[in-house]
Amino acid sequence: MTLFASLRYPSFAFLWAGQTVSRFGDHLYRVALAWWVLEKTGSAAAMGTVLIFTSVPMLLFVLIGGVAVDRFPRAQVMFVSDLLRAAVVGITALLAFTNTLELWHILVASIVFGFVAAFFQPAYTAIIPDIVASEQRPSANSLTALSAQLTGILGPALGATIVALGGTASAFALDALSFLIAALCILPMLRLQPPEQLNARAQANPIQEFRAGLRAVVTVPWLWLTILLLALMNLTQAGPYTVSLPFLVKESLGDDVQVLGWLYSAAAFGSVIAAIWLGRKTGFHRRGIVSYLGLVVSGLATLVLGLAVPLPMLLLANVLIGASLNVFNLIWYNTLQEMVPNDLLGRVSSIDYLGSFVLLPIGYGLAGWATDLFGAAEVLFIGGVLTTLLALIGLAQPAIRKLN
Protein backbone atom coordinates (compact mmCIF):
# COMPACT_ATOMS: atom_id res chain seq x y z
CA MET A 1 0.00 0.00 0.00
CA THR A 2 1.20 3.54 -0.75
CA LEU A 3 0.47 6.71 1.10
CA PHE A 4 -1.83 7.95 -1.69
CA ALA A 5 -3.86 4.75 -2.21
CA SER A 6 -7.03 6.22 -0.71
CA LEU A 7 -7.14 8.94 -3.40
CA ARG A 8 -8.33 6.23 -5.81
CA TYR A 9 -11.75 6.71 -4.25
CA PRO A 10 -13.30 9.80 -5.94
CA SER A 11 -15.45 10.74 -2.93
CA PHE A 12 -12.47 10.79 -0.62
CA ALA A 13 -10.33 12.60 -3.20
CA PHE A 14 -12.87 15.45 -3.41
CA LEU A 15 -13.33 15.53 0.35
CA TRP A 16 -9.59 15.56 0.96
CA ALA A 17 -8.97 18.32 -1.57
CA GLY A 18 -11.66 20.55 -0.12
CA GLN A 19 -10.59 20.02 3.45
CA THR A 20 -6.97 20.69 2.51
CA VAL A 21 -8.00 24.14 1.29
CA SER A 22 -10.18 24.66 4.37
CA ARG A 23 -7.41 23.69 6.75
CA PHE A 24 -5.08 26.10 5.03
CA GLY A 25 -7.59 28.82 5.80
CA ASP A 26 -7.85 27.61 9.39
CA HIS A 27 -4.13 28.17 9.92
CA LEU A 28 -4.40 31.68 8.52
CA TYR A 29 -7.31 32.36 10.84
CA ARG A 30 -5.53 31.01 13.92
CA VAL A 31 -2.53 33.31 13.49
CA ALA A 32 -4.71 36.31 12.65
CA LEU A 33 -7.03 35.69 15.59
CA ALA A 34 -4.18 35.25 18.08
CA TRP A 35 -2.49 38.45 16.95
CA TRP A 36 -5.74 40.44 16.79
CA VAL A 37 -6.62 39.52 20.38
CA LEU A 38 -3.06 40.19 21.50
CA GLU A 39 -2.99 43.65 19.93
CA LYS A 40 -6.57 44.53 20.88
CA THR A 41 -6.38 43.49 24.54
CA GLY A 42 -2.80 42.53 25.45
CA SER A 43 -4.37 39.98 27.78
CA ALA A 44 -3.78 36.24 27.97
CA ALA A 45 -7.06 35.96 29.87
CA ALA A 46 -8.87 37.44 26.87
CA MET A 47 -7.20 34.89 24.61
CA GLY A 48 -8.34 32.14 26.93
CA THR A 49 -11.89 33.55 26.92
CA VAL A 50 -12.07 33.43 23.12
CA LEU A 51 -11.00 29.79 23.15
CA ILE A 52 -13.47 28.96 25.91
CA PHE A 53 -16.30 30.46 23.84
CA THR A 54 -15.30 28.12 21.01
CA SER A 55 -14.95 25.02 23.14
CA VAL A 56 -18.01 25.17 25.38
CA PRO A 57 -20.64 25.07 22.57
CA MET A 58 -18.75 22.21 20.95
CA LEU A 59 -18.77 20.26 24.21
CA LEU A 60 -22.44 21.04 24.88
CA PHE A 61 -23.64 19.88 21.47
CA VAL A 62 -21.13 17.20 20.41
CA LEU A 63 -23.22 14.33 21.79
CA ILE A 64 -26.21 15.58 19.80
CA GLY A 65 -23.90 15.88 16.82
CA GLY A 66 -22.76 12.27 17.23
CA VAL A 67 -26.35 10.99 17.29
CA ALA A 68 -27.19 13.14 14.24
CA VAL A 69 -24.19 11.80 12.34
CA ASP A 70 -25.39 8.21 12.90
CA ARG A 71 -28.98 9.11 11.88
CA PHE A 72 -28.60 11.41 8.86
CA PRO A 73 -26.35 11.51 5.76
CA ARG A 74 -22.91 12.52 6.95
CA ALA A 75 -22.03 14.42 3.76
CA GLN A 76 -25.05 16.68 4.23
CA VAL A 77 -24.03 17.45 7.80
CA MET A 78 -20.54 18.44 6.63
CA PHE A 79 -21.84 20.52 3.70
CA VAL A 80 -24.11 22.64 5.88
CA SER A 81 -21.33 23.01 8.47
CA ASP A 82 -18.89 24.45 5.93
CA LEU A 83 -21.48 26.90 4.58
CA LEU A 84 -22.25 28.18 8.08
CA ARG A 85 -18.57 28.68 8.88
CA ALA A 86 -18.00 30.51 5.59
CA ALA A 87 -20.80 32.92 6.48
CA VAL A 88 -19.51 33.55 10.01
CA VAL A 89 -15.90 34.20 8.98
CA GLY A 90 -17.07 36.32 6.06
CA ILE A 91 -18.98 38.60 8.43
CA THR A 92 -15.96 38.74 10.74
CA ALA A 93 -13.75 39.76 7.82
CA LEU A 94 -16.23 42.47 6.79
CA LEU A 95 -16.25 43.92 10.31
CA ALA A 96 -12.45 43.86 10.38
CA PHE A 97 -12.21 45.62 6.99
CA THR A 98 -14.51 48.38 8.25
CA ASN A 99 -12.59 48.70 11.55
CA THR A 100 -15.71 47.84 13.56
CA LEU A 101 -14.64 44.42 14.81
CA GLU A 102 -14.85 44.13 18.59
CA LEU A 103 -14.01 41.37 21.04
CA TRP A 104 -17.68 40.48 21.50
CA HIS A 105 -17.98 39.85 17.75
CA ILE A 106 -15.12 37.39 18.00
CA LEU A 107 -16.80 35.70 20.96
CA VAL A 108 -20.08 35.30 19.04
CA ALA A 109 -18.20 33.90 16.04
CA SER A 110 -16.38 31.50 18.35
CA ILE A 111 -19.71 30.23 19.72
CA VAL A 112 -20.95 29.45 16.19
CA PHE A 113 -17.65 27.76 15.32
CA GLY A 114 -17.92 25.58 18.40
CA PHE A 115 -21.52 24.61 17.62
CA VAL A 116 -20.70 23.66 14.03
CA ALA A 117 -17.60 21.69 15.07
CA ALA A 118 -19.84 19.55 17.30
CA PHE A 119 -21.44 18.16 14.14
CA PHE A 120 -18.60 18.37 11.63
CA GLN A 121 -15.90 16.53 13.56
CA PRO A 122 -17.88 13.31 14.29
CA ALA A 123 -19.18 13.37 10.71
CA TYR A 124 -15.69 13.53 9.23
CA THR A 125 -14.39 10.67 11.38
CA ALA A 126 -17.43 8.51 10.70
CA ILE A 127 -17.65 9.09 6.94
CA ILE A 128 -14.20 7.66 6.17
CA PRO A 129 -15.32 4.00 6.53
CA ASP A 130 -18.32 4.82 4.30
CA ILE A 131 -16.16 5.92 1.36
CA VAL A 132 -12.79 4.15 1.84
CA ALA A 133 -12.07 0.40 2.13
CA SER A 134 -10.53 -0.80 5.39
CA GLU A 135 -7.06 -1.51 3.98
CA GLN A 136 -6.81 2.07 2.68
CA ARG A 137 -8.00 3.79 5.89
CA PRO A 138 -4.48 4.30 7.29
CA SER A 139 -3.74 6.09 4.01
CA ALA A 140 -6.92 8.19 4.29
CA ASN A 141 -6.26 9.20 7.89
CA SER A 142 -2.60 9.93 7.19
CA LEU A 143 -3.45 12.05 4.15
CA THR A 144 -5.97 13.94 6.26
CA ALA A 145 -3.28 14.70 8.80
CA LEU A 146 -0.70 15.33 6.08
CA SER A 147 -2.82 17.93 4.32
CA ALA A 148 -3.53 19.70 7.58
CA GLN A 149 0.11 19.81 8.54
CA LEU A 150 1.59 20.59 5.13
CA THR A 151 -0.72 23.56 4.93
CA GLY A 152 0.21 24.18 8.55
CA ILE A 153 3.85 24.60 7.56
CA LEU A 154 2.99 27.30 5.04
CA GLY A 155 -0.22 28.59 6.60
CA PRO A 156 1.09 30.12 9.84
CA ALA A 157 4.11 31.71 8.19
CA LEU A 158 1.99 33.04 5.31
CA GLY A 159 -0.72 34.07 7.75
CA ALA A 160 1.81 36.10 9.72
CA THR A 161 2.96 37.75 6.49
CA ILE A 162 -0.62 38.54 5.46
CA VAL A 163 -1.33 40.02 8.89
CA ALA A 164 1.87 42.09 8.74
CA LEU A 165 1.18 43.39 5.22
CA GLY A 166 -2.60 43.43 4.85
CA GLY A 167 -3.97 43.20 8.37
CA THR A 168 -6.07 40.55 10.07
CA ALA A 169 -9.10 41.27 7.84
CA SER A 170 -7.34 39.81 4.79
CA ALA A 171 -6.56 36.57 6.62
CA PHE A 172 -10.18 36.30 7.84
CA ALA A 173 -11.47 36.79 4.29
CA LEU A 174 -9.24 34.08 2.87
CA ASP A 175 -10.48 31.67 5.55
CA ALA A 176 -14.10 32.38 4.54
CA LEU A 177 -13.22 31.63 0.91
CA SER A 178 -11.59 28.35 1.95
CA PHE A 179 -14.83 27.16 3.62
CA LEU A 180 -16.79 27.90 0.44
CA ILE A 181 -14.34 25.84 -1.62
CA ALA A 182 -14.58 22.98 0.88
CA ALA A 183 -18.39 23.01 0.63
CA LEU A 184 -18.21 22.87 -3.18
CA CYS A 185 -15.96 19.79 -2.96
CA ILE A 186 -18.57 18.01 -0.81
CA LEU A 187 -21.33 18.65 -3.38
CA PRO A 188 -20.65 15.45 -5.43
CA MET A 189 -20.94 13.37 -2.25
CA LEU A 190 -24.49 14.60 -1.62
CA ARG A 191 -25.69 12.36 -4.46
CA LEU A 192 -24.26 9.23 -2.83
CA GLN A 193 -26.71 6.76 -1.34
CA PRO A 194 -26.24 6.77 2.47
CA PRO A 195 -25.70 3.44 4.26
CA GLU A 196 -28.95 1.52 4.72
CA GLN A 197 -28.68 1.57 8.52
CA LEU A 198 -29.06 5.38 8.47
CA ASN A 199 -32.62 5.10 7.22
CA ALA A 200 -33.51 2.66 9.99
CA ARG A 201 -31.82 4.70 12.72
CA ALA A 202 -33.59 7.90 11.63
CA GLN A 203 -36.75 6.39 13.15
CA ALA A 204 -35.09 5.20 16.37
CA ASN A 205 -35.29 6.86 19.79
CA PRO A 206 -32.32 9.28 20.01
CA ILE A 207 -31.96 8.70 23.77
CA GLN A 208 -31.63 4.97 23.23
CA GLU A 209 -29.20 5.65 20.40
CA PHE A 210 -27.01 7.69 22.70
CA ARG A 211 -27.11 5.04 25.43
CA ALA A 212 -25.97 2.42 22.94
CA GLY A 213 -22.97 4.59 22.06
CA LEU A 214 -22.17 5.17 25.72
CA ARG A 215 -22.26 1.41 26.43
CA ALA A 216 -19.84 0.89 23.56
CA VAL A 217 -17.35 3.16 25.35
CA VAL A 218 -17.65 2.22 29.03
CA THR A 219 -17.37 -1.53 28.36
CA VAL A 220 -13.99 -1.20 26.61
CA PRO A 221 -11.14 -0.36 29.06
CA TRP A 222 -8.62 0.97 26.53
CA LEU A 223 -11.28 3.29 25.15
CA TRP A 224 -12.54 4.94 28.34
CA LEU A 225 -9.07 5.02 29.91
CA THR A 226 -7.65 6.93 26.96
CA ILE A 227 -10.57 9.36 26.85
CA LEU A 228 -10.11 10.08 30.56
CA LEU A 229 -6.36 10.63 30.28
CA LEU A 230 -6.73 12.79 27.18
CA ALA A 231 -9.16 15.00 29.07
CA LEU A 232 -6.50 15.62 31.70
CA MET A 233 -3.74 16.08 29.11
CA ASN A 234 -5.73 18.72 27.27
CA LEU A 235 -5.95 20.52 30.59
CA THR A 236 -2.19 20.30 31.16
CA GLN A 237 -0.84 20.61 27.61
CA ALA A 238 -3.28 21.97 25.03
CA GLY A 239 -4.40 24.86 27.23
CA PRO A 240 -0.89 26.12 28.03
CA TYR A 241 0.41 25.54 24.49
CA THR A 242 -2.48 27.36 22.79
CA VAL A 243 -2.76 30.29 25.19
CA SER A 244 0.78 30.75 26.48
CA LEU A 245 2.90 30.28 23.37
CA PRO A 246 2.00 33.65 21.75
CA PHE A 247 2.88 35.34 25.04
CA LEU A 248 6.18 33.43 25.26
CA VAL A 249 7.00 34.96 21.88
CA LYS A 250 5.95 38.41 23.07
CA GLU A 251 7.84 38.21 26.39
CA SER A 252 11.03 36.41 25.38
CA LEU A 253 11.48 36.46 21.60
CA GLY A 254 11.17 40.08 20.55
CA ASP A 255 7.41 40.55 20.07
CA ASP A 256 7.63 39.23 16.48
CA VAL A 257 4.57 37.62 14.88
CA GLN A 258 6.87 35.95 12.34
CA VAL A 259 8.50 33.94 15.14
CA LEU A 260 5.09 32.71 16.26
CA GLY A 261 4.43 31.58 12.69
CA TRP A 262 7.75 29.71 12.60
CA LEU A 263 6.95 27.85 15.81
CA TYR A 264 3.52 26.79 14.53
CA SER A 265 5.09 25.73 11.24
CA ALA A 266 7.74 23.66 13.06
CA ALA A 267 4.99 21.71 14.84
CA ALA A 268 3.25 21.18 11.50
CA PHE A 269 6.50 19.92 9.96
CA GLY A 270 6.81 17.32 12.71
CA SER A 271 3.25 16.18 12.06
CA VAL A 272 4.05 15.75 8.37
CA ILE A 273 6.95 13.46 9.19
CA ALA A 274 4.68 11.29 11.34
CA ALA A 275 1.91 11.21 8.73
CA ILE A 276 4.27 10.10 5.95
CA TRP A 277 5.76 7.39 8.15
CA LEU A 278 2.45 5.96 9.37
CA GLY A 279 0.57 6.47 6.10
CA ARG A 280 2.60 3.74 4.39
CA LYS A 281 1.46 1.10 6.88
CA THR A 282 -1.54 -1.21 6.49
CA GLY A 283 -1.78 -1.89 10.22
CA PHE A 284 -0.24 -1.02 13.56
CA HIS A 285 1.58 -3.35 15.96
CA ARG A 286 1.83 -2.64 19.70
CA ARG A 287 -0.31 0.38 19.01
CA GLY A 288 -1.01 1.08 22.68
CA ILE A 289 2.67 1.30 23.63
CA VAL A 290 3.72 3.26 20.54
CA SER A 291 0.89 5.79 20.79
CA TYR A 292 1.44 6.47 24.48
CA LEU A 293 5.18 6.83 24.01
CA GLY A 294 4.24 9.57 21.58
CA LEU A 295 2.34 11.32 24.37
CA VAL A 296 5.36 11.00 26.67
CA VAL A 297 7.59 12.68 24.07
CA SER A 298 5.05 15.46 23.54
CA GLY A 299 5.02 16.19 27.27
CA LEU A 300 8.80 16.35 27.47
CA ALA A 301 8.96 18.65 24.44
CA THR A 302 6.35 20.97 25.98
CA LEU A 303 8.50 21.11 29.10
CA VAL A 304 11.43 22.32 26.98
CA LEU A 305 9.37 25.29 25.76
CA GLY A 306 9.37 26.59 29.31
CA LEU A 307 13.16 26.52 29.62
CA ALA A 308 15.48 29.38 28.77
CA VAL A 309 16.63 27.82 25.48
CA PRO A 310 17.51 29.55 22.20
CA LEU A 311 15.10 29.74 19.27
CA PRO A 312 16.55 26.69 17.41
CA MET A 313 15.79 24.53 20.47
CA LEU A 314 12.25 25.92 20.62
CA LEU A 315 11.78 25.07 16.96
CA LEU A 316 13.05 21.51 17.55
CA ALA A 317 10.73 21.11 20.54
CA ASN A 318 7.78 22.13 18.36
CA VAL A 319 8.81 19.63 15.69
CA LEU A 320 8.78 16.89 18.36
CA ILE A 321 5.41 18.04 19.69
CA GLY A 322 3.87 17.90 16.22
CA ALA A 323 5.38 14.52 15.35
CA SER A 324 4.63 12.77 18.63
CA LEU A 325 1.05 14.02 18.91
CA ASN A 326 0.34 13.00 15.32
CA VAL A 327 1.70 9.51 15.98
CA PHE A 328 -0.84 9.18 18.76
CA ASN A 329 -3.70 10.76 16.80
CA LEU A 330 -3.28 8.66 13.66
CA ILE A 331 -3.06 5.41 15.58
CA TRP A 332 -6.08 6.44 17.64
CA TYR A 333 -8.31 7.30 14.66
CA ASN A 334 -7.38 4.09 12.85
CA THR A 335 -8.09 2.10 16.00
CA LEU A 336 -11.55 3.64 16.38
CA GLN A 337 -12.40 2.99 12.73
CA GLU A 338 -11.17 -0.61 12.91
CA MET A 339 -12.55 -1.67 16.28
CA VAL A 340 -15.81 0.31 16.63
CA PRO A 341 -18.82 -0.87 14.55
CA ASN A 342 -19.61 1.60 11.77
CA ASP A 343 -23.20 2.13 12.93
CA LEU A 344 -21.85 3.29 16.33
CA LEU A 345 -18.86 5.24 15.08
CA GLY A 346 -20.49 8.68 15.01
CA ARG A 347 -21.70 8.37 18.59
CA VAL A 348 -18.46 6.87 19.89
CA SER A 349 -16.48 9.60 18.11
CA SER A 350 -18.65 12.28 19.69
CA ILE A 351 -18.25 10.74 23.16
CA ASP A 352 -14.50 10.55 22.55
CA TYR A 353 -14.52 14.20 21.49
CA LEU A 354 -16.55 15.31 24.49
CA GLY A 355 -14.62 13.24 27.02
CA SER A 356 -11.23 14.19 25.65
CA PHE A 357 -11.92 17.92 25.43
CA VAL A 358 -14.33 18.48 28.31
CA LEU A 359 -11.63 20.07 30.47
CA LEU A 360 -10.13 22.15 27.66
CA PRO A 361 -12.13 25.33 28.40
CA ILE A 362 -10.90 25.12 31.99
CA GLY A 363 -7.39 24.62 30.64
CA TYR A 364 -7.70 27.74 28.50
CA GLY A 365 -8.97 29.76 31.43
CA LEU A 366 -6.32 28.49 33.86
CA ALA A 367 -3.56 28.97 31.30
CA GLY A 368 -4.64 32.56 30.64
CA TRP A 369 -4.88 33.36 34.35
CA ALA A 370 -1.57 31.65 35.18
CA THR A 371 0.25 33.26 32.23
CA ASP A 372 -0.81 36.73 33.36
CA LEU A 373 0.18 35.92 36.94
CA PHE A 374 3.37 33.84 36.60
CA GLY A 375 4.53 34.10 32.99
CA ALA A 376 4.28 31.97 29.86
CA ALA A 377 7.51 30.02 30.38
CA GLU A 378 6.49 28.82 33.84
CA VAL A 379 3.07 27.68 32.62
CA LEU A 380 4.54 25.71 29.71
CA PHE A 381 7.14 24.04 31.93
CA ILE A 382 4.63 22.89 34.55
CA GLY A 383 2.20 21.78 31.86
CA GLY A 384 4.90 19.67 30.22
CA VAL A 385 5.80 17.96 33.50
CA LEU A 386 2.18 17.08 34.27
CA THR A 387 1.52 15.86 30.73
CA THR A 388 4.52 13.53 30.86
CA LEU A 389 3.38 12.05 34.17
CA LEU A 390 -0.14 11.44 32.85
CA ALA A 391 1.21 9.67 29.75
CA LEU A 392 3.39 7.42 31.92
CA ILE A 393 0.36 6.56 34.09
CA GLY A 394 -1.49 5.48 30.95
CA LEU A 395 1.46 3.45 29.72
CA ALA A 396 1.46 1.55 33.02
CA GLN A 397 -2.10 0.26 32.44
CA PRO A 398 -2.35 -3.35 31.10
CA ALA A 399 -5.33 -2.45 28.88
CA ILE A 400 -3.16 0.10 27.07
CA ARG A 401 -0.03 -2.02 26.80
CA LYS A 402 -2.00 -4.99 25.42
CA LEU A 403 -3.76 -2.94 22.73
CA ASN A 404 -2.41 -4.42 19.51
| Digit-coded pLDDT (tens) for 121-152 | 888 888 888 888 877 888 888 888 788 777 76
Q: Name the residue ranges covered by the structural domains of the chain.
A: 5-401
Q: Which of 80-84, 280-284, 399-403 has the highest mean pLDDT?
A: 80-84
Residue 31 burial (C-beta neighbours within 10 Å; 0-12, 13-18, 19+):
buried
pLDDT of residue 45: 74
pLDDT of residue 95: 92
**Residue 302's pLDDT band (boundaries 50, 70, 90)?**
very high
**Residue 337's pLDDT band (boundaries 50, 70, 90)?**
confident
Q: In CATH, what number does 5-401 get?
A: 1.20.1250.20
* Residue 199 predicted with pLDDT over 60: no
The percentage of the chain sitting over the pLDDT mark of 90, rounded to a whole number, equals: 22
Q: Which residues of 292-314 are buried (b: 16+ CB within 10 A; e: fewer)?
A: bbbbbbbbbbbbbbbeeeeeeeb
Whether this prediction's pTM lies above 0.95 is answered by no
How confident is the model over 80-100, as a mean pLDDT? 92
DSSP state of 353: H
Helix, strand, coil share of the chain (percent; to 5): 85, 0, 15
**Residue 204's pLDDT band (boundaries 50, 70, 90)?**
low
| Identity at 38, one-letter amino acid code | L
Of residues 209 and 30, the one with the higher pLDDT is 30
DSSP state of 309: -
Of residues 23 and 253, the one with the higher pLDDT is 23
Of residues 284 and 347, the one with the higher pLDDT is 347
* Residue 352 predicted with pLDDT over 80: yes
Query: How many alpha carbons lie under 13 Å from residue 8 in its C-beta half-sphere?
Result: 12
pLDDT of residue 192: 67
How confident is the model over 195-209, as a mean pLDDT? 59
Q: Are 265 and 316 in contact (CB under 8 A)?
A: no
Q: Which are the contacts of 196, defined by CB distance < 8 A and separation ≥ 6?
A: none
pLDDT of residue 196: 54
